[in-house]
């Protein structure tokens, strides 16, 4: 009988994963001036970590580092385009297993503040929205538009299935959940915010919900009756006055995004802020009884093609780099920095005397790889898939392609020279005539035209266009199509008859390499192997290369670009192995025959 009961119990647990989140039942509530955990005042000292920016195998190590700095809570967004990359296709596995991330936090004794939004900003592609929303005719994000709400509802119900079992109301460790994200910086429709609440409740988020906005935008972004958190302000008096104004003269007082540093974009200086500049402010904030979420505690890396871009108006475009080091307390590889140690000292002052902090784990070892020599190469133009043919060039979205590259090809009568112009190029284009590279066009620099010379006879014009990242903030969220979005003209005449070759590079397993020399004009992929007797974190040194992406053992490490400021690509120890390892480089401009590595990153070197 005992064996039967045990078998039935195990079966129930397998069938009901929410039961695994059930531990000691806790309560979490809003007091007049502080959060109340199990009826007692609780000062939330939280740090933001984004699960897609950290290898799954390293999540627990990052959690242990959070505890060692004195954090009691982890904040994270939930990324719609990670979990529904194509319409109706959901992914909560592997590095996208957000419930496992929350569960590990619980096992490490950490609470979680969840931010499913579903708009996240986060210097992330399209602010977290999936690209395919732009395929839905008439759909308007962050609005009461029926098509948007229909897609939003289907998604948030899926998120609720994954995460509602981990709410504190169900015995889990998610203390509270944020609806929308800095909405006051975008709009002021309270009916839209109320719809957000309704959808979250329907998805099973039955605990405390809150909004967050910069101080100047709280009035537009808060939802009456909800706790309004304040971003970017750490003066206790100001935070308290803002929250009390919109929350019936009560608290708690929560700074949902406190910035100890900032992010970077291509071609600009790496942002760093000395710890000393923020130690006193953190001390004052905690001493004033405020709760805080540090954005970021650990940034990690924006891999694949998931970086976003700044574009507050039509006058500039600034795609963000792959490193999301952020000059955060925990560096890109998960090691403690000087800022970590000094913030730890401040936090320790505000903890009970009988609550010592764990020892800070030693820095992870780093290694230098043996020099890698490439002997296998394939030109991009020799691996083109079957094209789509239309009279006018089509966007990435029309081709149902989220990220990567599209090669646009047209054949035109030659014997002509003049100016080739691309209207609304998004974002980076390399122009070829009969296979010879003529030059590049760069949206960042407002370069959209180039002088070309077509030889006599039929001439082939190729334009390789890279999606450098969709805008993640501001009104231009609604202007996020990629590729050649309007037309191409030569001396004012619109060119027609286009073949479009999709090159998303979602996988590289089926690429056929050969032992051939590199072309100096054509973009190429190069492959090599290297052997390791020991593993460790390392940083690929891309300073001799031009522009492209790198894969290690099938993992896309992100983009590199010689203009900087990032000159290295972080390789996590978790993705290396003893024995044989594979590296593939996609180089657009300047292929090399060798690749070396460093034991430390280079994040502030511009060319």
Complete domains list, the chain, with CATH? 40-349 (3.20.20.80), 372-378+511-598 (2.60.120.260), 384-503 (2.60.120.260)
Report pLDDT for 14. 39
Tokens of 30: 């809003």
**257 among known catalytic residues:** yes
How many CA atoms are closer than 13 Å to the CA of 531, on its beta-carbon side?
2
User: Which three-class secondary structure state does DSSP give residue 30?
Assistant: strand
Average pLDDT, 10 consecutive residues per value, the chain (607 residues): 40 40 79 97 98 98 98 98 97 98 98 96 98 95 97 98 98 97 96 98 97 97 96 95 96 96 96 96 97 98 97 81 98 98 97 91 96 95 96 97 98 96 96 96 96 96 98 90 97 97 94 79 94 98 98 98 98 98 98 97 95
User: Which three-class secondary structure state does DSSP give residue 502?
Assistant: strand
Name residues whose C-beta falls within 8 Å of residue 15's C-beta, 6 or more positions apart in sequence: none
Q: Are 302 and 235 in contact (CB under 8 A)?
A: no
Percent of the chain with pLDDT over 70: 95
Compute the distance between CA of residue 204 and CA of residue 200 in angstroms, rounded to an integer. Answer: 7
Tokens of 245: 């104004």
E-strand ranges in 222-333 read 227-231, 254-258, 291-298, 309-310, 318-319
**125 among known catalytic residues:** no
Name residues whose C-beta falls within 8 Å of residue 31's C-beta, 6 or more positions apart in sequence: 41, 251, 252
Check residue 191 and report its DSSP letter.
H
From the candidates 48, 84, 125, 182, give the one annotated as an active-site residue: 182
Secondary structure (DSSP) of 472-486: -SSGGGG----EEEE
Q: Are 351 and 341 in contact (CB under 8 A)?
A: no
Q: Which residues of 139-154 are buried (b: 16+ CB within 10 A; e: fewer)?
A: bebbbebeebbebbee
User: Which three-class secondary structure state does DSSP give residue 311?
Assistant: coil
Q: Are 14 and 161 in contact (CB under 8 A)?
A: no
Compute the distance between CA of residue 543 and CA of residue 415 in angstroms, rounded to an integer. Answer: 39
Compute the distance between CA of residue 30 and CA of residue 250 in angstroms, rounded to an integer. Answer: 9
Report pLDDT for 314. 62
Compute the distance between CA of residue 87 and CA of residue 105 in angstroms, rounded to an integer. Answer: 30
Compute the distance between CA of residue 401 and CA of residue 86 in angstroms, rounded to an integer. Answer: 10
Report pLDDT for 519. 65
Q: How many CB atoms lie within 10 A of CB 492?
A: 8
pLDDT in tens, 409-424: 999 999 999 999 999 9
Check residue 249 and report its DSSP letter.
T
Q: Are 296 and 323 in contact (CB under 8 A)?
A: no
Secondary structure (DSSP) of 268-293: SPPP---THHHHHHHHHHHHTT-EEE
Q: Are 68 and 362 in contact (CB under 8 A)?
A: no
E-strand ranges in 380-497 read 388-390, 405-413, 416-426, 428-433, 436-442, 449-454, 458-466, 483-490, 493-494
Tokens of 29: 């509530």
Check residue 266 and report its DSSP letter.
T
User: Which three-class secondary structure state does DSSP give residue 379?
Assistant: strand
Report pLDDT for 6. 40
Q: How many CB atoms lie within 10 A of CB 416?
A: 15
From the candidates 48, 123, 257, 466, give the one annotated as an active-site residue: 257
Beta strands at 405-413 and 436-442: parallel, antiparallel or unpaired:
unpaired
Name residues whose C-beta falls within 8 Å of residue 199's C-beta, 6 or more positions apart in sequence: 149, 152, 153, 156
Compute the distance between CA of residue 283 and CA of residue 347 in angstroms, rounded to an integer. Answer: 7
Report pLDDT for 21. 43
**H helix or E strand, kind and range, residue 196:** helix 190-202
Expressed in angstroms, the distance from the first to the final Cα of the chain is: 74
Report pLDDT for 475. 83
């Amino acid at each position: 009988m005992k064996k039967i009961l045990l078998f039935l119990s195990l079966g129930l647990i397998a069938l009901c994963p929410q039961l695994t989140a059930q531990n000691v039942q806790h309560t979490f509530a809003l007091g007049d001036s502080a959060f109340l955990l199990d009826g007692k005042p609780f000062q939330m000292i939280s740090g933001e970590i984004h699960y897609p920016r950290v290898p799954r195998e390293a999540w627990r190590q990052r959690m242990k580092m959070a505890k060692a700095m004195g954090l009691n809570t982890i904040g994270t967004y939930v990324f719609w385009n990670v979990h529904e990359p194509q319409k109706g296709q959901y992914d909560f596995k592997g590095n996208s297993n957000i419930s496992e991330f929350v569960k590990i936090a619980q096992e490490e004794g950490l609470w979680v503040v969840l931010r499913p939004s579903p708009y996240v900003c986060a210097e992330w592609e399209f602010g977290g929205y999936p690209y395919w929303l732009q395929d839905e005719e008439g759909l308007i994000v962050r609005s009461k538009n029926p098509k948007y709400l229909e897609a939003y509802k289907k998604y948030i119900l899926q998120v609720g299935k994954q995460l509602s079992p981990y709410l504190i109301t169900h015995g889990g460790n998610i203390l509270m959940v944020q609806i929308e994200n800095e909405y006051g910086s975008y709009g002021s429709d309270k009916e839209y915010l109320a719809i957000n609440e309704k959808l979250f409740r329907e998805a099973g988020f039955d605990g405390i919900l809150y909004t967050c906005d910069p101080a100047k935008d709280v009035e537009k972004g808060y939802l009456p009756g909800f706790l309004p958190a304040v971003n970017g302000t750490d003066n206790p008096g100001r935070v308290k006055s803002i929250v009390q104004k919109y929350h019936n003269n009560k608290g708690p007082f929560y700074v949902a995004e406190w910035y100890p540093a900032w992010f970077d974009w291509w071609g600009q200086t790496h942002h760093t802020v000395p710890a000393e500049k923020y130690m006193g402010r953190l001390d004052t904030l905690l001493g004033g009884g405020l709760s805080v979420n540090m954005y970021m505690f650990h940034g990690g890396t924006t891999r694949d093609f998931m970086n976003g871009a700044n574009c507050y108006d039509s006058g500039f475009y600034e795609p963000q780099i792959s490193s999301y080091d952020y000059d955060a307390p925990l560096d890109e590889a998960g090691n403690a920095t000087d800022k970590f140690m000094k913030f730890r000292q401040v936090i320790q002052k505000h903890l009970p005397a009988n609550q010592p902090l764990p020892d800070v784990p030693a820095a992870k070892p780093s290694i230098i790889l043996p020099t890698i020599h490439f002997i296998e190469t394939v030109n991009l133009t020799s691996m083109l898939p079957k094209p789509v043919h239309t009279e006018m060039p089509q966007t990435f979205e029309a081709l149902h392609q989220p990220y990567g590259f599209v090669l646009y090809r047209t054949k035109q009568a030659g014997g002509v020279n003049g100016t080739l112009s691309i209207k609304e190029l998004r974002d980076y284009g390399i122009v070829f005539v009969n296979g010879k590279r003529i030059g590049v066009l760069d949206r960042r620099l407002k370069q959209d035209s180039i002088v070309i010379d077509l030889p006599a006879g039929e001439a082939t014009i190729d334009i390789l266009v890279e999606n450098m990242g969709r805008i993640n903030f501001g009104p231009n969220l609604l202007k996020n199509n990629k590729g050649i979005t309007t037309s191409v003209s030569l001396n004012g005449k619109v060119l027609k008859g286009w073949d479009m070759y999709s090159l998303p590079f979602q996988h590289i397993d089926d690429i056929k390499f050969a032992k051939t020399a590199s072309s100096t004009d054509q973009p190429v992929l190069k492959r090599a192997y290297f052997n390791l007797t020991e593993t460790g974190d390392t940083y690929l040194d891309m300073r001799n290369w031009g522009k492209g992406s790198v894969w290690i053992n099938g993992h896309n490490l992100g983009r590199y670009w010689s203009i900087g400021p990032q000159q290295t690509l972080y390789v996590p120890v978790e993705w290396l192995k003893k024995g044989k390892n594979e590296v593939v480089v996609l180089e657009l401009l300047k292929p090399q025959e060798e690749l070396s590595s460093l034991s430390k990153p280079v994040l502030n070197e511009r060319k």
